[in-house]
Amino acid sequence: MPSLKDLKNRIASVKNTRKITKAMQMVAAAKLRRAQEAAEASRPYTERFNAVLGGLAASVGGSDSAPKLLAGTGSDQTHLLVVMTAERGLCGGFNSNIAKLARAKAQDLIAAGKTVKVLTVGKKGRDALKREYGELFVGHVDLTEVKRVGYDDAQGIARNILDRFDGGEFDVATIFYAKFVNVVTQIPTAQQIIPASFEDAEADGASTLYDYEPSEEAILADLLPRGVATQIFAALLENGASEQGSRMSAMDNATRNAGDMIDKLTIEYNRSRQAVITNELIEIISGAEAL
Amino acid sequence: MANMMQFDLVSPERSLASFQVTSVQIPGADGDMTAMPGHAATLTSLRPGVVKVQSPEGDKDFVVTRGFAEISADSISVIAEHAHVGGDVTKADLEDVLSAARAAAENADADDKDAAEKFVADMVDLLDAMD
């Protein structure tokens, strides 16, 4: 049976925790709005870019001279998994869900006899995968210092990946991130970026005949590396919104749990206080009777 | 309206412009070109330069670096990697891009060297033009 003093201390400490989680929730809500705005602002670019690139890819893709970024290296022996997670924790299942998806994919690939390499973006994903796949890590991109994700950050990551591709380090690259649906739902997603695949864009893009300046191949060769950056940028933004959304609901839950705990502890506190008073009364009355 | 076309300018971070225009001058990779309504469908990559837009509400300039433009008979979309509204842009903004491009040109291997150096030269031209 904890003493009254102990109970009081515990209530005070849970109240402090509640204040912190409440503050984190509100900060996450504000950041979420900004992250969503950023994601929406980038959408016109991504859509147009993919429509044009998809159309180009459809018309050039069949030929033998198609760039490697589009047609692949002709093998799928070595896979690069780009695991994009948050730099910070306390955001519910966000980081672990992405890591789980990446882990499942890595297991499948290893079971199929493929070589797997892992590039992590964001500290939490690296921590989650280090124990099992630490020896497969080829690099890590640190975004701790980045306050607001810009296109330049995405380009940096894309260059990192493309340099490795040009160096023949891998044949297929897949990015892992969480798609933002709403505050309670974020879907961990795996998306293949090299060789590029366009399922939905091909239909409408290919119908228009364009003049190309300079040549069709030159434009395509110019656009494909940028397509990688664009997809990574979109994924980073989705991830940003997902992280804040996930943190917001996690902190909402934590705040509510803390409230429940305070209620329970307060009842216990009141009961033990009453018990002490009753005990004292009994002692006084039995003392008086003895006289 | 037959003598108008839809103009869109988007960068990865935001959409900068979307309105009706009468003509647009684009810094294409092979030289400047002006697109007016009824232009043949064209896809061109951009070099660093100024996109000049003429519309009934007045003329507007946008500074773009890298990207491409999609022209059709009734619309034109400029999809730029970096874009600024003409009046807002300062030389300092662009000098970062230039120094990054210089570094890239130095490290580029033989295949990319020409393209990287052309980009640097175009950036220098653009900066000179702003004086």
Coarse DSSP helix, strand, coil percentages of chain A, rounded to the nearest 5 percent? 65, 15, 20
Interface check for A50 against chain B (CB to CB < 8 A): the answer is no
Q: Do A14 and A119 fall into the same domain?
A: no
Contact A227, A139 (CB under 8 A): no
Structure tokens at B76: 């034109």
Q: If you ran DSSP here, which 8-state letter would residue A61 be given? A: T
Question: Which one of B11, B42, B81 has the shortest CB-CB distance to A211?
Answer: B42
State the sign of the Cα–Cα–Cα–Cα dihedral B27, B33, B38, B43. negative
Tokens 């499948």 — which residue? Answer: A108
Q: How far apart are CA B81 and CA A152, in angstroms?
A: 9
Residue span of the structural domain in which A139 resides: 33-248
Residue A249 Cα, gap to closest chain B Cα (Å): 27
Structure tokens at B58: 């007045």
- What does the pLDDT look like over A169-184, one tens digit per residue? 899 999 999 999 888 8
Q: Which residues pair with A115 in a beta bridge?
A: A78
Q: Which residues pair with B55 in a beta bridge?
A: B58
Residue B128 Cα, gap to closest chain A Cα (Å): 24
Would you kindly state where each structural domain of chain B is located, as residue ranges?
A: 5-87, 90-130
Highest mean pLDDT among A66-80, B31-45, B102-116: B31-45
Domain count, chain A: 2
pLDDT of A202 higher than 50: no
Structure tokens at B77: 């979309």
DSSP E strands in chain B: the ranges are 5-10, 15-21, 23-28, 31-35, 42-45, 49-55, 58-71, 75-85
Q: Do A165 and A266 fall into the same domain?
A: no
Share of chain A above pLDDT 90, in %: 49
Report the top-level CATH class of B5-87: mainly beta
Q: Do A107 and A228 fall into the same domain?
A: yes
Residue A64 lies in a domain: yes
Q: Which of A134-148, A153-167, A226-240 has the lowest mean pLDDT?
A: A134-148
Nearest CA in chain A to B116: A222
Burial class of residue A13 (count of CB atoms within 10 Å of its CB; 0-12, 13-18, 19+): exposed
Q: Do A61 and A115 fall into the same domain?
A: yes
Interface check for B17 against chain A (CB to CB < 8 A): the answer is no
Interface check for A210 against chain B (CB to CB < 8 A): the answer is yes
Tokens 């789980």 — which residue? Answer: A100
| Banded pLDDT at A196 (limits 50, 70, 90) | confident
Q: Count of alpha carbons within 13 Å of A91, Cβ hemisphere only?
A: 29
CA distances from residue A53 to A9, A45, A289, B68 in whole angstroms, order as listed: 62, 12, 97, 11
* B70:A44 CB<8 A: no
| pLDDT given for residue A16 in this prediction | 96
Contact B51, B67 (CB under 8 A): no
Structure tokens at A92: 């519910």
Residues with Cβ within 8 Å of A215's Cβ and at least 6 positions away in sequence, in order, are none
Q: Do A226 and A166 fall into the same domain?
A: yes
Mean pLDDT, rounded, for B61-72: 87
Question: In A61-138, where does DSSP find H-type helix?
Answer: 68-71, 94-111, 123-133
Mean pLDDT, rounded, for B73-96: 81
Residue A139 lies in a domain: yes
Q: Which residue has the higher pLDDT, B81 or B108?
A: B81
B28 to chain A: which residues are within 8 Å by CB?
Answer: 213
Residue A89 lies in a domain: yes
Residue A163 lies in a domain: yes
Residues with Cβ within 8 Å of B72's Cβ and at least 6 positions away in sequence, in order, are A208, B39, B41
Tell me which residue of B46, B118, B120, B35 sits closest to B80, measured CA to CA.
Answer: B46
Structure tokens at A90: 């306390």
Q: Do A257 and A244 fall into the same domain?
A: no
Q: How far apart are CA A228 and CA A230, in angstroms?
A: 5
Residue A188 lies in a domain: yes
Residue B44 Cα, gap to closest chain A Cα (Å): 5
Residue A26 lies in a domain: no
Q: Do A16 and A125 fall into the same domain?
A: no
Q: Do A158 and A281 fall into the same domain?
A: no
Question: Which one of B68, B72, B82 has the shortest CB-CB distance to A208?
Answer: B72
Element (H, E) at A121: strand A115-121
A41 to chain B: which residues are within 8 Å by CB?
Answer: 13-15
Residue A88 Cα, gap to closest chain B Cα (Å): 24
| Banded pLDDT at A245 (limits 50, 70, 90) | very high
* A210:B43 CB<8 A: yes
Residue A123 lies in a domain: yes
A233 to chain B: which residues are within 8 Å by CB?
Answer: 12
User: Which one of A213, A217, A223, A236 would you mutate to disrupt binding with B, by most B Cβ within 10 Å of its Cβ?
Assistant: A213
The single-letter code of the amino acid at B114 is D
The interface predicted TM-score (ipTM) is 0.80
pTM of the full predicted structure? 0.85
Residue A215 lies in a domain: yes
Tell me which residue of B52, B10, B45, B21 sits closest to B31, measured CA to CA.
Answer: B45
Q: How far apart are CA A129 and CA B110, in angstroms?
A: 38
Q: Do A191 and A274 fall into the same domain?
A: no
Q: How far apart are CA A155 and CA A127, in angstroms?
A: 24
Q: Do A180 and A76 fall into the same domain?
A: yes
* B40:A233 CB<8 A: no
Q: Do A85 and A223 fall into the same domain?
A: yes
CA distances from residue B84 to B63, B75, B91 in whole angstroms, order as listed: 5, 21, 11
Q: Do A16 and A45 fall into the same domain?
A: no
Residues with Cβ within 8 Å of A109's Cβ and at least 6 positions away in sequence, in order, are A79, A116
Mean pLDDT, rounded, for B93-112: 75
φ/ψ of B61, rounded to 5, equals: -120, 145
The CATH number covering residue A138 comes to: 3.40.1380.10
